[in-house]
Amino acid sequence: MTSKYSELYSVLSEAIKAFSLNNIDEGNESLMDFLTLLDPFLTELPAEKIVPFQELLNESLTFFEAKDYLNLADKLSNEFLPLLEKTLIEYPMSELGNPLSVDLYEALDATIVAFKQENNSVGNEKLIELVDLLKSEAVRWPEEKILQLKPLLTESLQLQKESDYSGLINVLEKNIYPLVE
């Protein structure tokens, strides 16, 4: 669970422990710290992955407002913490951006440059590397983005097969590059 958001897990654990021990002030402080960290994390997730967090936040808020700290700690521990852990594993986000994304940009640029320089054998090799990287990266993308990518990959490979390198460059620059950003 290496992520710029892995602190979320430890701060939430601190809140749970404090509320479990009836240390309300410390629990409140840790919970506020957690919510501050949670907001930017949620903005980086696909929309469909945010809904379970919102539902659990609403349920937790009910316990918090009722000052039912033991049930709050239970909800956070048994439902929120496992969801957070699972999400952090599914969507790793490093401080410097996902290293694979950097490789993806480099592969995309190298492919475009090779074809623009009419170095088609290198371009073809780079295109294969690019497609492999796109396939491995895309599994973490929102579904609508994946649905946009698939026909573009098919079109790219068809243009490569037809030796239409200017068309291929156009698809890479105008269609695939914006999806990667």
Which pLDDT band, with edges at 50, 70 and 90, does 159 fall under? very high
Residues 83 and 28 both lie in one domain: yes
> Model pTM greater than 0.75?
no
Q: Of 90, 107, 122, which residue constitutes the final position of a domain?
A: 90
Q: How confident is the model at residue 171 (pLDDT cuts 50, 70, 90)?
A: very high
Q: Tell me the C-alpha to C-alpha distance, in Å, between residue 38 and each of 33, 43, 58, 81, 114.
A: 9, 9, 14, 12, 42
Give pLDDT tens digits for 68-122: 999 999 999 999 989 988 887 776 554 434 444 557 777 888 888 888 888 888 8
The pLDDT assigned to 180 comes to 78
As given in the structure block, the two tokens for residue 109 are: 């640029």
Tell me the residue range of the domain where 12 lies.
6-90
Question: Which residues lie below 8 Å from residue 37, measured CB to CB, with a gap of 6+?
Answer: 5, 7, 8, 11
Verify that 108 and 82 share a domain, yes or no. no
Tell me the pLDDT tens digit for each residue of 37-64.
888 888 877 778 889 999 999 999 999 9
Higher pLDDT, 166 or 7: 166
- Tally of structural domains, the chain: 2
Whether residue 39 is contained in a domain is answered as yes
Residues 134, 140: Cα–Cα separation, whole Å? 10
